Amino acid sequence: MTQWVRHTDDADATRAVGSEVAALLRAGDVVVLAGEVGAGKTTFTQGLGAGLNVRGPVTSPTFVLARRHPTLTNGPDLVHVDAYRIDGTLVLEDLDLDADLDTAVVVIEWGQGLIDDLAIERVAVHVQRPQGDVADEHRVITVDFVGRAWAERLASNSDGVTA
């Protein structure tokens, strides 16, 4: 497993980290986002969407559970899922995410523990904000590239993206 750790001090910098990760993604990839409410998971996903050049705006799909953002180029679509209200893996499977994997990058907020069996190869992102001062915009973003395919992809990456 390869891990990146990025520190950001505002929403634009958090989006920039999302865009940096997007440069490595392709159709079939799954990104699982974790972090407390208000940590910046959707902000990170906005950066992914910008990096993938999808139709926006990318907003939290909390009440619709999943939102598809079609590509504006020949890249993959972005399927943005909010699993906060999902009770378990069976309900998550009802969203039929497997069908999206051929043409999309699937991003699942609150998906830790629910998606592990469905996506052994994945990108796990944890967005952490400081405790206490809600005005503090500093974030620590930990990105874990999980699985052999990611190790191989990162090793052969010639775009200069580094840990």
Please, what are the domains in the chain?
2-155 (3.40.50.300)
Q: What is the pLDDT along the chain (163 residues), one digit of tens a residue?
A: 899 999 999 999 999 999 999 999 999 899 999 999 889 999 999 999 999 999 988 988 765 678 889 999 999 999 998 876 665 544 445 555 655 667 899 999 887 766 666 678 899 999 998 877 667 789 999 999 999 989 889 988 755 455 5
Q: What's the start-to-end Cα distance of the chain, in Å?
A: 12
pLDDT digits (tens, 9 = 90+) for 19-57: 999 999 999 899 999 999 889 999 999 999 999 999 988
pTM: 0.86
Q: What is the greatest pairwise CA distance in the chain?
A: 43
CB 39 within 8 A of CB 130: no
To which residue do tokens 């980290």 refer?
17
